[in-house]
Amino acid sequence: MSQLLNLRAVDVAYGKSQVLWDVALDMRKGEAGAILGRNGVGKTTLLKTIVGQLRLLKGQVFLNEIDVSRRQAHERARTGVGFVPQGRHVFPHLTVEENLNVGLSALSPRKGKHPKKIPPYIFDLFPKLRDISQRKAGVLSGGEQQQLAIGRALAGRPDLLILDEPTEGIQPNIVQQIERALSTIRSELGVGVLIVEQNLDFAWAFADHYFVMQRGRIVQQGRVAETSTADIAHLIQV
Ligand SMILES: Nc1ncnc2c1ncn2[C@@H]1O[C@H](COP(=O)(O)OP(=O)(O)OP(=O)(O)O)[C@@H](O)[C@H]1O
Ligand SMILES: [Mg+2]
């Protein structure tokens, strides 16, 4: 199976303070991964590095077997990566529909010609978004904003969808809905999913691989099917 995401010996710093050390990570097409770790270990930094919001001090990032190490975030989006940042960040003054249209800017000729229209499967995954399509995003509930942020990332038809703590501060019934949507995104759309998640049960519900971070390094990784959450809880809990 072909490669979706590969990191090689990645170091990243904010100014003089180095935050990621020698990070290597591999995912194949259509797989799901979960990055775990305590607060401040560098999980968000790692995701921002993959999507191109932070520059590498050293190492390489490959998306779809293309070296994107020196490409900017919008170019990487066109290479096939969609990002749902921590805290969601929808555009509050734009409507739901306008927010989804922003996501279309990541479309590229890479997958043949797609009309610059919101793909209908987004409304199949999150029917609520159709009902509230003319509402300003700023007035939506946290759960609705999260669905919108995922929908916007999917509008660019990514091969890899990256989400930073998608369940943070969201009520349980919406968490379940997001879990189902992510499973469908993988199984029916064939999109690879990489999440940062504190909720181990959520991660275990659909990930194939886990990666545990401590102090800017991946210190343990493995297959979810061969590991119980109890085995790694001590590496993650405070
Ligand atoms: N813009 C920044 N400038 C300087 N240091 C930063 C910046 N962003 C993060 N850091 C530092 O980098 C380290 C890793 O932060 P990061 O946000 O990646 O952690 P995290 O694992 O995502 O934490 P959390 O679970 O709280 O979201 C922390 O020590 C943090 O203080
Ligand atoms: Mg974070």
64 φ/ψ angles, rounded to the nearest 5 degrees:
50, 40
- pLDDT for 111 equals 62
In tens, the pLDDT along 163-220 reads 999 998 888 888 898 999 999 999 999 999 999 998 888 899 889 999 999 999 999 9
Instruction: State if pTM tops 0.85.
Output: yes
For residue 42, which atom of ligand 1 is closest to its CA?
Answer: 18
What is the spatial order of strands in the sheet that 209-214 belongs to? 81-84, 160-164, 192-196, 32-36, 209-214, 217-223
What CATH number should be reported for the domain holding residue 193? 3.40.50.300
- Say whether 6 sits in a helix, a strand or coil: strand
The reply to whether ligand 1 has any atom less than 6 angstroms from the CB of 44 is yes
Q: What is the pLDDT of residue 116?
A: 79
DSSP 12-71: EEETTEEEEEEEEEEEETT-EEEEE--TTSSHHHHHHHHHTSS--SEEEEEETTEE-TT-
Inter-residue contact 79 to 65 (CB < 8 Å) = no
Helical residues (DSSP H) of 73-161, grouped into ranges: 73-79, 96-103, 121-125, 127-131, 142-155
Q: Block means of pLDDT (10 residues each) for the chain, length 238 residues?
A: 94 97 97 96 98 97 96 92 90 96 80 76 94 96 93 94 92 89 92 94 91 96 93 85
Full domain range(s) for residue 105: 3-236
Ligand 1 pocket residue status of 40, Cβ below 6 Å? yes
What pLDDT was estimated at residue 173? 87
Residue 37 CA, chain-centre distance (Å), reads: 16
**Distance (Å) from CA 39 to ligand 2 centroid:** 7
Q: Would you say the CB of residue 2 lies under 6 angstroms from ligand 1?
A: no
Q: Which of 10, 21, 43 to mutate to test the pocket of ligand 1 (most atoms within 8 A of CB)?
A: 43
Number of structural domains (the chain) is 1
| Sole residue written with tokens 């929908």 | 151
Q: Tell me the H-state helices in 89-221.
A: 96-103, 121-125, 127-131, 142-155, 172-187, 200-206
To the nearest 10 degrees (0 to 180), the angle between helices 142-155 and 172-187 is: 10
Query: What's the pLDDT at 238?
Result: 67
Atom of ligand 1 nearest to the CA of 165: 27
Supply the residue whose CA is at minimum distance from atom 23 of ligand 1. Answer: 40
